[in-house]
Chains A and B, each alone.
Chain A
């Protein structure tokens, strides 16, 4: 069975601090996909990144970066120089590779509060 664990439930930082959100996953599949979504206070889900299991290169997009390590089954997300607008709930998710019927398994989310 697949599982996504986001052990941190709430994180509070002061603006301009760096913050890392942890994600650990479990799957028996050799091919799978990992995602991060952001849910701001307005409630919608915003797609941030998708990474497949064969691509372990770290990714950077502006102030966001992701560290994928298969050896530790982790896909951590770092926000550099955090801003108040980064305040949101962040979800990590895992998709198996059963083709057309695959579905996402979400972690419980991490609530990030960035204080001015």
Chain B
């Protein structure tokens, strides 16, 4: 039973390019969460999605960032026109039911470096 799969593990982008981060939840999990870990910081919530729906995007920057979780396929976190400040580790988590109270299973993260 594979865990939460994130790819790529490492991603390097030049300023102004687009970054696409993918997350496949655990089998049977229909709730996906994205968190961002800036250097020397803890993780911060970005967005919570269910299949085809964004439930809570209160932690997402208003510009350049978007997320989706289509009916088929992985969840995608998309960052347009990346800047150096976007360099961070992005973690995806999934759960079988909504909310964080029962804990999540996190993926191994995608480390984005903007040069």
Identify the A interface with B (CB < 8 A): 4, 6, 33, 35, 37, 42-45, 47, 50, 52, 91, 93, 95, 97-109
CB of B93, distance to nearest CB on chain A (Å): 8
Question: What would be 5 A-B contacts, judged by CB atoms less than 8 Å apart?
Answer: A4-B42, A35-B103, A44-B107, A47-B105, A103-B33
Identify the B interface with A (CB < 8 A): 33, 35, 40-45, 48, 55-56, 59, 89, 91, 97-109, 111
CB of B38, distance to nearest CB on chain A (Å): 10
Residues of B within 8 A of A35 (CB): 103
Q: Is A103 a contact of B48 with CB atoms below 8 Å?
A: yes
Instruction: Please give me the residue from chain A that is nearest to B103 by CB atom.
Output: A50
Knowing A43-B89, A44-B106, A45-B106, the reply to whether A97 touches B101 (Cβ < 8 A) is yes
Knowing A45-B91, A103-B48, the reply to whether A109 touches B42 (Cβ < 8 A) is yes
Give bound CA distance, A103 to B58, whole Å: 11
Q: Is B43 a contact of A91 with CB atoms below 8 Å?
A: yes
Q: Contact check: which of B33, B43, B109 meets A43 at CB < 8 Å?
A: B109
Instruction: Please give me the residue from chain B that is nearest to A31 by CB atom.
Output: B101
Q: Nearest 9 pairs between A and B by C-beta?
A: A100-B98, A106-B42, A45-B106, A102-B99, A44-B108, A95-B100, A103-B45, A106-B43, A104-B100
Knowing A35-B103, A106-B44, A108-B42, the reply to whether A101 touches B109 (Cβ < 8 A) is no
